[in-house]
A and B are shown apart, each in its own frame.
Chain A
């Protein structure tokens, strides 16, 4: 009941078709992840290159070239991924593409593990950046110490929304994406206009607020520049999710998805470049107290409504970005589970056609990361990019192999595109892994192999079970079997009469009724009642002075086992089912029976049969009501 109330009623398959996303909604759902990274990517570059007074100016000069490099990388990856979308309209995530094309299972497992880690990080990074955007507003100055709590609140809200279904969540969040795109475009456009044609003062540097940020030193080495570039490269993270989510689009899925990808890349590239250009003029500085976007917003719009709208739109799109991972993490884990590398519970479609176990798993780990890193975006960023670029490289290498194998129309040209993509992303992967190893990139380098270890041990278990459980027709032959049936009786009521009839209809080799008695009075009362009803079946009474039902029954069954050398003992439990929900009588009647049933379910060769008796059917008077 509680689940139904929170999650909603189950959907039929016909309704599932209507859950498909139109292009504008899909753009909001899938593109929010990459586009939202414009809210923190520039800032993350500055955190690396421009921390401290001495290097701020130096870092700002490198911002524009770096954002050009990221934009070029974006163009390469998007061109390459358009091919994947057309080749895999059923959803061409890196896991599937490397499974289908690359030799052995290992590449796909690496891709799967990297992506799982990355989806978790998408949630953690986006939520923390969204909270940072809200905390940048002067009104919420006092809330700083509740940063982690706010993050967890957002994760909880998202989790509930997603348990209720994909499209509903998409609709709720579609508006903030477009508001954010409009607001950021306004910031960049109006800001640049004022920079070049008007008067706007650069953001005043506040030494006190910038305190506590790691010093990069006076000179800007190539290593630091590459590390800054690695931070900027996280902007590409959401592309994989779109390729994986092609089946969520309306028909023709592949064409719509490819168009959405291109539109998204253009918006992302323009905004990212614009923000970086504006930042190089306005000189914002990185601090945990106010985001770079907020600083520039205040410089351009002034402290007013527009600034507030900008910050809330930023938080909105970041929350929606986290939502992207919610749509795709369960999808990915269900594909992996169906291949037998994750517990089968992840392959389950939940009540609302969302893979609810995956959603809960994602929420749990994202919350863990947010707590561990105090909800600080900058601390999470180095963990982030490794997985993205690992999966990019594998996916595009897979596409290269695919082109060579299929040799379809224009395969040389398409293969070249994927070769360029694979090479570029592999180089970036190396840059990220090397420059960020000491500041956190080591974590995925340990966690990903650990997940792969988990995958293979789960698979090994399923394979062993599969071999063990193989059956032959000979196993099914009827055998002369020894069958004993035991009816458990606490007192005689209509349910017991039904159960006795049922037991007799089974025609077992041995049949008896069993009563667990606390004392002699109890025993005599029961025997008298049994006589009175004139049952032909024999009644055995076992003593259990402390009214311990389960162990007494188990001892009795062991004894029967020895006596008859049974193949099977069937235990019949007459059960009350009260008509009304939450009826206290149901609880009273069935609590001991439920505990007993649970214990017997684990007993070898013991069949547990529940014969229900619906209390509604019981006449008010004239029935035996003697208590036990």
Chain B
């Protein structure tokens, strides 16, 4: 039993795949992207499951503008809208090389009790769908919205030039 600590060092030095799930480029993904960027041995990639071609092409455009060179974007088709199935397929592909995968799921926390009627809480649904897949660690990274006033204009292009003018689920 005492040899467990030795195992720790061995495991920690190895790289492991981290997959960030993105449905659209907006502020919701900020904490998730920062979280992934801090993981030292992560082989990080972003995964988008494409349901609607127009939405996907907008996402690709926005993603390019973000210039996250260390986080390549992968696209997977799910034309029938079966998102969980596409994610499972992506995990299966990783399983060829790695024995475990970390899935990072950005989640929007909305300020009012009735807001969940208007926003799908997709991250926790996907997390529970993936619970029975062996070797998958799910990480839900929340973005908490406290009020609905627009974000203060950051440096660079103003809000008008910002990214993410799209429907927010």
Contact = CB atoms under 8 A, between A and B. Distances in A.
Interface string B128-146: 0001101011111110110
A533 B4 contact: yes
B139 A505 contact: no
A13 interface: yes
Contact of A608 (B81, B134, B140): B140
B6 to A, nearest CB: 10
Given A344-B167, A462-B167, A504-B8, A612 B131 contact: yes
Contact of A481 (B34, B79, B115): B34
A602 B115 CA distance: 13
A533 B5 CA distance: 8
B165 A466 contact: yes
Given A465-B168, A497-B4, A12 B80 contact: yes
A373 interface: no
Contacts of A534: 1-2, 4-5
Interface residues of B, number: 72
Nearest to B33: A476
Nearest to A475: B30
B40 interface: yes
Interface string A99-121: 00000000000000000000000
Contacts of A157: none
Interface residues of A, number: 64
Contacts of B115: 461
Contacts of B167: 340, 344, 462, 466
A599 interface: no
A483 B145 CA distance: 21
B80 A16 contact: yes
Nearest to B3: A534
Contact of B144 (A471, A535, A604): A604
A296 B107 CA distance: 63
B136 A612 contact: yes
B119 A344 contact: yes
A607 B35 contact: yes
Contacts of A601: 107, 109, 124, 140, 142
A169 B35 CA distance: 48
A16 B120 CA distance: 25
Contact of B7 (A11, A13, A501): A501
A353 B82 CA distance: 10
A343 interface: yes
Given A344-B169, A348-B81, A481-B38, A471 B164 contact: yes
Interface of A: 10-13, 16, 340, 343-345, 348-349, 353, 458, 461-462, 464-476, 478-479, 481, 483, 497, 500-502, 504-507, 532-536, 567-568, 570, 575, 577, 601-612, 614, 617
